[in-house]
Amino acid sequence: MKKLRSQEWFGRKDRDGFLYRSWMKNQGYPADLFDGRPVIGICNTFSELTPCNSHFREIADWVKRGVWEAGGFPLEFPVMSLGETILRPTAMMFRNLASMDVEECIRGYPMDGVVLLMGCDKTTPSLLMGAASCGLPTIGVSGGPMLSGKFQGHDLGSGTGLWQMSEKVRSGQMNEQEFFEAESCMHRSKGHCMTMGTASTMACMVEALGMSLPGNAAIPAVDARRYTLAQLSGRRIVQMVRDDLGIGRILTREAFFNAIRANAAIGGSTNAVIHLIALAGRIGVPLALDDMDRIGSHLPCLVDLQPSGTHLMEDFFYAGGLPVVLRELGEAGVLDRGALTVNGQSIWTNVAEAPCWNREVIRKFADPFKPNAGIAVLRGNLAPDGAIIKPSAASAHLLRHRGRAVVFSSIEDFRERINHESLDIDETCVMVLQNCGPRGYPGMAEVGNMPLPPKMLRKGVTDMVRVSDARMSGTAYGTVVLHASPEAAAGGPLAFARTGDIISLDVPNRSLRLEVDDATLAARKAQWSPPPLPKRGYKRLYVQHVLQADKGADMDFLAGRSGAAVDRDTH
């Protein structure tokens, strides 16, 4: 085994070696731990303000067991934790900041390999992105989904159930007392959202990319097997260091293609698009927005899970989890079978024999839950650089639609006007939301799935076409066109849509058009001026440097990787 990088700190026989070891010994570590064994960083996103990750200290303890058993030296370190439900203005604004924290910690501290503890939505991409820019051997351990929500004798899914119930309250079908009773019933165990929202989707992406041991995505957070997997991951990362199996050998173009296919097959979140592109940008794999459509859109959704279907992650786990889905893809000839995974085996070796225990939850490729379920990329004069839609979560009758635009210039404008009975809107209209993209919000909040006007809900309307430069929660659903690029705040054409314009959406032909002539659009553009820059701090840095959604909304200066070398000593 080659000399490990941790020895550049701990292996020195000089004043600085004393410095590096002696202060560490204040924690009680004996001298032989600094003898050249693999030092494993455990990158922990534990926080009581990130409820989805609140059990991560326990998971870290199980990872440590595995590292000790395999002869490594585990050292846990905290990084910025992004609590999706609580952090304002939106956790997405801090994904890139957290990734910088992760990257600089991995590079700056003496570790030879790293275990990423990830759960809530943005904690997964931020850790993967930071680790990718360093290149060390890396293994992912997800925190696992919560147990299924249960309310009034039925399953109640994270997010999805909330969107459904709040529409019922707004239309008068549910009273407020029942609504608030559901609060304690939806989230009743530790873990992340148990629908196929962004957290579960990203956990599946980790597994499909080959970045975790098989089965990682679906084991419930409170199932003992979650701790077993953590322990085995601890053992495995030590061997990965010995084998010099860096993250760059796992995150190949083939691995990303497998992830895109898996995202279609699980009916995964639209957020995966933006995170996969950003991650590919860090590792140096060319991946374009159109690859999402080309590789995934024709594939079926095999998994009947909310928000596209009815079941929840617990059911998915009992049915066999992601290995079954990957096996179906492999047998259908749409998996890059040779892609290497962190256990040193190909992805196909890992899943070829995966048994399915419930065909209601995971369907066969030949008898899918929904056809053509991957992300579709739309283009046209309303989104020259692309916009996306998740057809599996949309209404079939709206996938081709032409309607009058009702434009909201900001989320505040939307909230101010949407409940007014006088709002001139009907079910044929197209709701448009501007200035909610990466720069505009800032942080590209999950507000693209605008709630419908109450008068439409009372009429029994359950879906309308919505268009924005925002994102949408992975737990949401509807005929919702998202990520329009360039965004309105960057002078994209979305900024020039006006109430009364006609918008045509044609998903089968991948088109999104504003039926307004070029001269009129140019005249509107001449009247436009960009929003002022935030005055100071991270928000200013973010707005100045964030890339557009079609490029993954990373910072322009973060694309690429710099490896793990640091050319200067501390003293």
Q: Rule CB under 6 A: which residues touch ligand FES?
A: 52, 84-85, 120-121, 158, 192-193, 197, 199
DSSP label of 91: G
| Nearest partner of 136 among 260, 38, 47, 16, judged by Cα | 38
- Which residue lies nearer to ligand FES by CB, 182 or 566? 182
Q: Which is nearer to ligand FES, 85 or 499 (CB)?
A: 85
Tell me, what DSSP letter sits at residue 210? Answer: T
Q: What share of the chain is helix, strand, coil (3-state, %, to 5)?
A: 40, 15, 45
| Least separation in angstroms between CB 191 and ligand FES | 8
Q: Looking at beta carbons only, is 84 or 550 nearer to ligand FES?
A: 84
The phi, psi pair for 144, rounded to 5°, reads: 90, 150
Separation between Cα atoms, residue 514 and residue 498, nearest integer Å: 10
- Smallest distance, ligand FES to C-beta of residue 475, A: 7
Other beta carbons within 10 angstroms of residue 252's beta carbon come to 18
Residue 513: count other Cβ atoms within 10 Å of its Cβ: 18
Q: Which is nearer to ligand FES, 143 or 440 (CB)?
A: 143
Closest contact distance (angstroms) between CB of 86 and ligand FES is 9
Backbone angles phi, psi at 158, to 5 degrees: -50, 135
User: How near is the Cβ of 298 to ligand FES at its closest, in Å?
Assistant: 29
Which is closer to ligand FES, CB of 53 or CB of 343? 53
The secondary structure element, H or E, covering residue 345 is: none
Nearer to ligand FES, 52 or 507 (CB): 52
- Number of neighbours of residue 104 by Cβ within 10 angstroms: 15
SS in 3 state form for 297-329?
A: CCCCECECECCCCCECHHHHHHHCCHHHHHHHH
Rounded to whole angstroms, the Cα distance separating 16 from 39 reads: 18
* Euclidean distance between CA atoms 463 and 456, whole angstroms: 9
Q: Which is nearer to ligand FES, 143 or 403 (CB)?
A: 143
Shortest separation between residue 56's beta carbon and ligand FES, angstroms:
12
Report which residue type is found at 316.
F
Task: State which residue, 297 or 475, has the beta carbon closest to ligand FES.
Answer: 475
* 269 or 479: CB nearest ligand FES: 269
- Tell me how far apart the alpha carbons of residues 231 and 233 are, in angstroms, rounded to a whole number: 5
Q: Nearest approach, Cβ of 119 to ligand FES (angstroms)? A: 7
* Closest to ligand FES by CB, 91 or 514: 91
Instruction: Give the nearer residue to ligand FES in terms of CB position, either 52 or 273.
Output: 52
Provide the minimum distance between the beta carbon of 52 and ligand FES in the complex, in angstroms, as a whole number: 3
Query: Going by DSSP bridges, is the β-strand pair 511-514/502-506 parallel, antiparallel, or unpaired?
Result: antiparallel
The distance of closest approach from Cβ of residue 127 to ligand FES in the complex, given in angstroms and rounded to an integer, is: 14
Other beta carbons within 10 angstroms of residue 240's beta carbon come to: 27
Rounded to an integer, what distance in angstroms lies between the CA atom of residue 68 and that of residue 188? 33
Q: Which amino acid is at 150?
A: K
- How much is the CA Rg of the chain, to the nearest whole Å? 24
421 contacts: CB under 8 Å, gap ≥ 6: 454, 455
Q: How far apart are CA 326 and CA 157, in angstroms?
A: 24
Q: How far is the CB of 233 from ligand FES (least distance, A)?
A: 20
Question: Where on the phi/psi map is residue 388: left (φ > 0), alpha (ψ -120 to 50), or beta?
Answer: beta
Q: How far is the CB of 197 from ligand FES (least distance, A)?
A: 6
To 10 degrees, what angle do helices 198-208 and 322-331 make?
50
Q: Which is nearer to ligand FES, 124 or 171 (CB)?
A: 124
CB of 199 to ligand FES, least distance (A): 3
Q: How far is the CB of 57 from ligand FES (least distance, A)?
A: 17
- Using CA atoms, how far apart are residues 54 and 56, in angstroms rounded to an integer? 6
